[in-house]
């Protein structure tokens, strides 16, 4: 691992001496447009798409862009250390790869390639319940690297119990429970193309290999795949859940539990009261509620409410190293990265994901240094102004 992630820039310049330029752009905001034309329109629309008219996804970017960093000078930034402690784990940088299901629509190596890329840089990989590769197979691809499991909290208690057991047996240590998707939202881009990955048999791998899931089917999956897909759509989530139900997860998981999709400070307090260990301030990348508060606007309020009781993580709209800096300044301990690594995967497999991780962390390291910080712990609200403020 590079002592300074920022040294990656010199590696790129040196490669340039032999005529080699990076295979993908180093401005990660450009990756989305590259997938158009290179990949199928159904999958590209599914990944890039958002809820409703896309207002929340735009607001996520605007809320980060509106905050501006005020750099400090003459602070000796020669030696820097990006590592942070999150949920009792030492991470090399305040970054994890967000849980993203159905990755085989982007690349045949899917979640395994993304997980190997994360492992290569010591970045935690959060595996989605709706992965296109079973839990056990992704774990095998990762060696002993840090892995967290994202739970879609099923209507079927036995399926949940079985998933927790499988994740635990495969070395997943942190449970990330997604609360903002008790059903899929109104997503016009998918509706207009009549494209949904599950209907193409993608994203159901963990379910179709699960004995508790099979117990709810009249016939084995291979004898009636359509019925199996419908059963999956019916039970993957549960709009009937309420806060007291968290006791079941607390009893059935002995590691840290993080609730993903918290935006209201009162929900963050309820999470702490329920014995949870962290929250991810997130609006699912704008894919669930159109017209929702931008994640970066919700972050400071949640951090003020529970920052001393819970690990506060953040996602939705992170695209650059300065976005990571801003998220920390607004109260996050670490960020999850979503679509950019998925585009990297679609464009160049495992190397594409590694490119995205290295660019993001190099840019973050340089932002820290140029703004007068030697590490994440000293970054705070005093580093930001709003607009010209
Ligand atoms: C194609 C796609 C699939 C996703 N699947 C899941 C999932 O299975 N579970 C989950 O908790 N979040 C899922 N998410 C949401 C991400 O974890 C994350 O919250 C979001 O992508 C962050 O926003 P960003 O894409 O702007 O970085 C998905 C996002 C995308 C784009
Ligand atoms: O598309 C999504 O945002 C998502 O979270 C999801 C939900 C179910 C299965 C796969 C992905």
Are 23 and 348 spatial neighbours (Cβ–Cβ below 8 Å)?
A: yes
Pocket residues: Cβ below 6 A from ligand 2: 101-102, 130, 181, 203, 284, 287
Ligand 1: which residue has its CA nearest to atom 5?
A: 100
Strand spans (E) along the chain = 67-69, 84-86, 89-91, 95-97, 125-127, 147-151, 174-178, 257-262, 278-281, 311-314, 334-337, 384-386
Residues (pLDDT < 70) of the chain are 1-2, 388-389
- Label residue 365 exposed, middle or buried (CB < 10 Å: 0-12, 13-18, 19+): buried
- Kindly report the backbone phi and psi dihedral angles of residue 8, in degrees, each rounded to the nearest multiple of 5, phi listed first: -55, -30
Q: Which homologous superfamily is 5-375 in?
A: Aldolase class I (3.20.20.70)
pTM for the whole structure: 0.98
Using the mean position of ligand 2's atoms as its centre, give its distance from the Cα of residue 79 in Å.
41
Using the mean position of ligand 1's atoms as its centre, give its distance from the Cα of residue 101 in Å.
8
Nearest partner of 91 among 67, 125, 61, judged by Cα: 125
Among the residues of 49-92, which ranges form H helices?
A: 55-66
Using the mean position of ligand 2's atoms as its centre, give its distance from the Cα of residue 153 in Å.
12
Testing ligand 2's pocket by substitution, the residue of 181, 200, 205, 339 carrying the most ligand atoms inside 8 A of its CB is: 181
* Cβ(319) – ligand 1 distance below 6 Å: no
Are 339 and 43 spatial neighbours (Cβ–Cβ below 8 Å)?
A: no
- Kindly report the backbone phi and psi dihedral angles of residue 314, in degrees, each rounded to the nearest multiple of 5, phi listed first: -145, 140
pLDDT, residue 196, reads 97
Ramachandran quadrant class, 241 (left: phi over 0; alpha: psi -120 to 50; beta: rest): beta
* Cβ(45) – ligand 1 distance below 6 Å: no
* Cβ(150) – ligand 1 distance below 6 Å: yes
Residue 338 alpha carbon, nearest atom of ligand 1: 27
- Label residue 240 exposed, middle or buried (CB < 10 Å: 0-12, 13-18, 19+): exposed
ipTM: 0.99
Our CA angle for 144, 150, 156, nearest 5°, is: 125
Using the mean position of ligand 1's atoms as its centre, give its distance from the Cα of residue 77 in Å.
34
pLDDT, residue 360, reads 99
Residue 48 alpha carbon, nearest atom of ligand 1: 31
Q: Give me 220's structure tokens.
A: 């084995």
pLDDT, residue 388, reads 67
Q: Rounded to an integer, what distance in angstroms lies between the CA atom of residue 78 and that of residue 375? A: 11
Q: Rounded to an integer, what distance in angstroms lies between the CA atom of residue 316 and that of residue 294? A: 8
Domain boundaries, the chain: 5-375
H or E element that contains 295: helix 295-306
Residues 6+ apart with CB under 8 A from 201: 225, 229
Are 206 and 134 spatial neighbours (Cβ–Cβ below 8 Å)?
A: yes
Per residue in 17-35, pLDDT (tens digit) is: 999 999 999 999 999 999 9
Q: Rounded to an integer, what distance in angstroms lies between the CA atom of residue 247 and that of residue 313? A: 22
pLDDT, residue 316, reads 99
């Amino acid at each position: 691992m590079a002592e300074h992630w920022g040294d990656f820039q010199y590696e790129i310049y040196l490669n340039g001496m032999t005529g080699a330029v990076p295979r993908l752009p180093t401005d990660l905001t450009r990756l989305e447009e590259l997938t158009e034309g290179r990949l199928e329109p159904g999958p590209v629309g599914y990944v890039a798409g958002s809820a409703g008219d896309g207002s929340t996804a735009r607001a996520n970017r605007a809320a980060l862009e509106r905050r501006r960093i005020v750099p400090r000078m003459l602070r000796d930034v020669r030696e820097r250390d990006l590592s942070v402690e999150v949920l009792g784990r030492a991470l090399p940088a305040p970054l994890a790869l967000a849980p993203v299901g159905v990755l085989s629509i982007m690349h045949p190596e899917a979640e395994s390639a993304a997980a190997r890329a994360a492992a290569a840089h010591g970045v935690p990989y959060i595996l989605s319940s709706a992965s296109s590769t079973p839990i056990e197979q992704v774990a095998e691809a990762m060696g002993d690297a840090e892995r967290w499991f994202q739970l879609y909290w099923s209507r079927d208690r036995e399926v949940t119990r079985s998933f927790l057991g499988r994740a635990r047996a495969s070395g997943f240590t942190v449970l990330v429970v997604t609360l903002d998707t008790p059903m899929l939202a109104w997503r016009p881009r998918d509706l207009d193309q009549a494209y949904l990955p599950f209907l193409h048999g993608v994203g159901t791998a963990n379910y179709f290999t699960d004995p508790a899931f099979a117990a709810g089917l009249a016939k084995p999956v291979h004898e009636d795949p359509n019925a199996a897909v419908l059963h999956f759509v019916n039970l993957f989530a549960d709009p009937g859940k309420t806060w007291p139900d968290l006791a079941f997860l607390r009893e059935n998981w002995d590691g840290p539990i993080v609730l993903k999709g918290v935006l209201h400070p009162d929900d963050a307090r309820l999470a702490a009261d329920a014995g949870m260990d962290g929250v991810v301030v997130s609006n699912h990348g704008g894919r669930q509620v159109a017209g929702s508060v931008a994640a970066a606007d919700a972050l400071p309020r949640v951090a003020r409410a529970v920052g001393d009781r819970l690990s506060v993580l953040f996602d939705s709209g992170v695209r650059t190293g300065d976005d990571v800096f801003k998220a920390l300044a607004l109260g996050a301990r670490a960020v999850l990265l979503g679509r950019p690594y998925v585009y990297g995967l679609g464009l160049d497999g495992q190397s594409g994901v590694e490119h995205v991780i290295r660019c993001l962390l190099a840019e973050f390291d340089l932002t820290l240094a140029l703004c007068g910080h030697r590490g994440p712990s000293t970054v705070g609200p005093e580093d930001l102004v709003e607009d010209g403020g």
